[in-house]
Amino acid sequence: MPIRKRRRVRAQTLIEAIAGFAVIIPLALMALDLTVLVTTSQSNEQWAELAARSAASQANAQNARLTAESCLAKAKTSNIVQSVALEGVDYDLGKGQVTIKTKMLVNMPVPFPFLSQVECHARAIQPIVATPAPL
């Protein structure tokens, strides 16, 4: 095989490898972001459930809100999970349930121009277990 032809084949292989990596690397980084987003979203759901359970054991709406806030204050923050906050509490004695809404701010490990920080919202409903018996 002549030298010129070998150089063309090597150059073509190098160009194909570079083009392949230019596609594969961003896809892998997006997959990392997607994995972090799914994991933190599940974590937010768990925090909302925990806050709803603790709020459901209170006798009134004010105590339910305070208990849910103190429960969410125990959430560990990091470089990825910036904050977990209480968005709303609906303590409905008529329905016999408490609804908790939470918001988690998540910083993406690989910030893309359109995706550097995401808000995850969760909602959990639990039956009120601290309702006094009617007289």
Domain locations in the chain? Answer: 3-127
Give SS3 for 2: coil
CA separation for the pair 29, 32 (Å, rounded):
5
pLDDT tens digits, one per residue of 75-131: 999 999 999 999 999 999 889 899 999 999 999 998 888 888 999 999 999 999 976
pLDDT tens digits, one per residue of 21-43: 788 888 898 899 999 999 999 99
Q: Look at phi and psi of residue 31 and say left if phi exceeds 0, alpha if psi is from -120 to 50, else beta.
A: alpha
CA separation for the pair 125, 135 (Å, rounded):
27
